[in-house]
Structure 1
Amino acid sequence: MSPLAVILTVSGYIAVLFLVAWLSGRRADNAGFFTGNRRTPWYMAALAMIGAAMSGVTFISVPGSVAADSFSYMQMVAGFTVGQLIVAFALVPLFYRLKVVSLYQYLDERFGIVSHRAGACFFILSKMLGAALRVYVVCAVMQLLVFGPYGWPFWANAVVTVALVWLYTQRGGVKSLIWTDTLKTLCLVGSLVLTIVFIARALDFGGTELIREVSASPMSQIFFFDNPASDRYFWKMFVGGIVVLVAMTGLDQDMMQCNLSCRTPRDAQRNIVLTAFCQIIVILLFLVLGVLLYLYVDSRGLALPAKSDQLFSLVAVDGGLPAIVGIVFVLGLISSTYSAAGSAMTALTTSFTVDLLDGPARYDEQRLTRVRHRVHLLMAACMTLVILGVGYLADDNAINLFFRIVSYTYGPILGLFLFGILSRRRPRDRWVPFVALAGPVLSALLQYAAAERWGYRIGFELLVYNALFVIAGLFLLSLGRRETEKS
Structure 2
Amino acid sequence: MTSATILTIIIIYFGLLILISNIVSKKDHSNDTFFKANKNSKWYLVAFGMIGTALSGVTFISVPGEVGNPDLQFKYFQFILGNAIGFIIIAKVLLPLYYRMNLTSIYGYIEQRLGTISYKTSAIIFLISRTIGSAFRLYLVVIVLQRYVFDDFNVPFAATVLISLGLIFAYTYRGGLKTIIITDTLQTFFLVSSVFLTIIFVCRSLDFSAIEAFEAVKNSNYSKIFFYEDYLQGNYVVKQILGGMFVTIAMVGLDQDLMQKNLSCKNIGEAQKNMFTFTGIFVLINIFFLSVGALLYMYAEKNGVAIPMVDGVTRTDYLFPEIAFKHLSIIPAVIFLLGLTAATFATTDSALTALTTSFCVDFLGMDKAENANNMQTVKTRHLVHLAFSFLMFLVILVFNSLNDKSVVTMIFTVAGYTYGPLLGLYGFGLFIKSKTVNDKLVPLICIVSPLITYFINSNSKDWFGGYVFSFELIIVNGLITLLGLLLISKPATGETRF
TM range (shorter): over 0.9
- Whole-angstrom CA distance in 2 between matches of 1:397 and 1:452: 25
Note if contact 1:32-1:174 (Cα within 8 Å) is conserved in structure 2. Answer: yes
Work out the CA distance in 1 between the residues paired with 2:254 and 2:494: 24
Q: Determine helix, strand or coil for the equivalent of 1:313.
A: helix
| In 2, Cα distance between equivalents of 1:480 and 1:199 | 62
Tell me the residue number matched to 2:477. 466
Q: Secondary structure at the match of 2:195?
A: helix
Counterpart residue type for residue 22 of structure 1: N
- 239-248 or 16-25: bigger deviation: 16-25
Question: Unaligned stretches of 5+ in structure 2?
Answer: 309-313
Alignment of 1:8-87 (within 5 A): 8-26=8-26, 27-68=28-69, 69-87=72-90
Query: Secondary structure of 2:437's match?
Result: coil
Give 1:400's aligned residue: 409
Aligned partner letter, 2:354 = A
Cα shift at 1:22: 1.9
Partner Cα distance (2:174, 2:456) in 1:
45
Tell me what 1:299 maps to.
302
**Equivalent residue in structure 2 for 1:206, among 198, 206, 209:** 209
**Distance in 2 of aligned mates of 1:72 and 1:248:** 20
Q: 1:159 to 1:272 in 2, by over 3 A?
A: same
- 1:104 counterpart = 2:112: no
2:382 to 368, 373, 379: 373
User: Map of 1:314-325 to 2, 5 A cutoff?
Assistant: 314-319=322-327, 321-325=328-332
> RMSD of the TM alignment (CA)?
1.2
The alpha carbon displacement at 1:49 in A equals 1.1
SS at match of 1:426: strand
CA–CA separation in structure 2 for the residues paired with 1:403 and 1:297: 28
What is the CA distance between 1:359 and its match in structure 2? 2.4
Shift of 1:60: 1.1
Q: Kindly provide the CA deviation profile for residues 284-304 of structure 1, in whole angstroms up to 9, marking residues without a partner as x.
A: 100000000000010011222
Separation in 2, partners of 1:385, 1:264: 38
| Structure 1 residue 444 corresponds to structure 2 residue 454 | yes
Report the 3-state secondary structure (helix = DSSP H, G, I; strand = E; otherwise coil) of the residue aligned with 2:487: helix
Aligned to 1:175, which of 173, 178, 190? 178
Structure 1 residue 5 displacement after superposition: 0.8
Decide whether the 8 Å contact of 2:239 with 2:471 is kept in 1.
yes
Give the TM-score normalised by the residue count of structure 2.
0.95
In the alignment, the residues of structure 2 paired with residue 205 and residue 91 of structure 1 have an alpha-carbon distance, to the nearest angstrom, of: 45
3-state secondary structure, aligned to 2:367: helix
> Residue deviations 1:439-486, cap 9 Å, x none?
11111011012123332111100000000000001111114664669x
Aligned length: 484
Query: Do the aligned partners of 2:438 and 2:490 also contact (CA within 8 Å) in 1?
Result: no
How do 1:188-203 residues align onto structure 2 when only pairs under 5 Å count? Answer: 188-203=191-206
Equivalent in 271, 289, 314 of residue 292 of structure 2: 289
Shift of 1:111: 0.8
- Corresponding letter in the other structure for 1:418: G
Aligned twin of 2:439: 429
Change (3 A) 1:25 1:452: farther
* Equivalent residue, structure 1, for 2:127: 124
In structure 2, C-alpha distance between the alignment counterparts of 1:360 and 1:481, rounded to whole Å: 28
Distance 2:15 2:458 in 1: 48
Q: Report Cα offsets for 1:359-379 as digits up to 9, x if no partner.
A: 232461213212211111111
What TM-score results when the alignment is normalised by the length of structure 1? Answer: 0.97
Q: After the TM superposition, which residues 208-357 of structure 1 pair with which residues of structure 2 at under 5 Å, given as runs?
A: 208-305=211-308, 306-319=314-327, 321-357=328-364
- Contact 1:28 1:175 survives alignment (8 Å): no
Equivalent residue number for residue 416 of structure 1: 425
Give a deviation string over 1:314-351, Cα, whole Å, max 9, x none.
100112x1111111111111111221110000000011
**C-alpha distance in structure 2 between counterparts of 1:415 and 1:404, whole Å:** 17
Q: Percent sequence identity over matched residues? A: 38
Distance 1:259 1:429 in 2: 29
| Aligned residue in 2 for 1:92 | 95
Residue 73 of structure 1 aligns with an amino acid whose one-letter code is Y
Tell me the amino acid that sits aligned with residue 310 of structure 1: Y
